[in-house]
Amino acid sequence: MQRRSRGINVGLLMLLSQVFHVGINNIPPVTLATLALNVWLFLNPLKPLHYSCISVEKCYQQKDWQRLLLSPLHHADDWHLYFNMVSMLWKGIKLERRLGSRWFGYIITTFSLLTGVVYLLLQFTLAEFMNEPDFRRNCAVGFSGVLFALKVLSNHYCPGGFVNIMGFPVPNRFACWAELIAIHFCTPGTSFAGHLAGILVGLMYTQGPLKKIMETCADPSGYQNHYPDGRAGAYEETHRNYDAYTAGLSEEEQLERALRASLWDRANSVHAITFCPGVCQFLASASVHLLPSRNDTNITTDGLNKVFQKALKFPISKKVWIRISSLVPSF
């Protein structure tokens, strides 16, 4: 296996264009480091592809286990790198922000190793049951197995909706299987077993014992802030101590003060407030006091203040407060 040479690495240039379009500051650290490492090893490979790809013959029979580390980080050409890293860019941004950088880095490391191990088991099993020695010699390289595992995680945390695959709408929970078949038939030369290995590793994490094993093996002091269940990660939300701003006020008093201050600021600059029907419906349901017309789009400041005062007569939870506070600045 040799890298296909090109005069200009168009795929690499397109990848860099995508990264700068998103903005380096908008890419979480582990995702950015993964992209940088793959690009660096593409430009400066540790070994030629023939000595970094993974196969049963090379790894198991010849005991060249370092290929488990090298194969996910090397790519056949610039287009191979481009498609894998663009996929990593979007999956990484979504998952790292959801899971936290430390846990996401742990996942990337574990998946990179496990996809290679599962690939070897699949190829060995096919060679034995089909009596076909070529399966032992099939050599695979690239990050796509890890990406299929991350695809399973992404669909697990966001199961609803559909994705368009070759013009057909496919439910998100089945998207990885549809992509596996579509890529196999539409892109000759891709590793079906490598992609399948990634899906199986992802299912081991979401449906099997892998997540529990990873939590058990992780150092508790090093992963105190991880979010394996998909809660907001440390990169997405910065912890703030809001107690310093409450001045001993209750939640209702804080809400009333914040609403009055916001309305006062707006009233100084405008005489009327454009109020969307969706917000009217929300406030009506929150306060159990319906407005005269939910489709009224021109409500004076005094009228709006009365609605808020009525709403404040009822207990308001933190979730309602967060929702209202996010809507007030948009008036």
Q: Which residues contact 294 (CB under 8 A, 6 or more apart)?
A: 277, 280, 281, 284
Q: Do strands 298-300 and 168-171 pair parallel, antiparallel, or not at all (unpaired)?
A: unpaired
Would residue 195 show up in a list of annotated catalytic residues for this protein?
A: yes
Would residue 325 show up in a list of annotated catalytic residues for this protein?
A: no
What does the alpha-carbon distance between residue 287 and residue 310 come to, in Å, rounded to a whole number? Answer: 7
Contact by Cβ (8 Å): 71, 140: yes
Given 71, 144, 154, 287, the catalytic residue: 144
Closest CA to 235 of 93, 91, 87: 93
* The two three-digit tokens of residue 316, written as one number: 């308001």
Given 75, 80, 195, 226, the catalytic residue: 195
The residues pairing with 299 across neighbouring beta strands, listed in sequence order, are 273
Angle among Cα 175, 212, 87 to the nearest 5 degrees reads 30
Chain centroid to Cα 304, Å, comes to 39
Reduced to 3 states (helix: H, G, I; strand: E, B; else coil), residue 64 is: coil
Give the residue numbers marked as catalytic: 144, 195
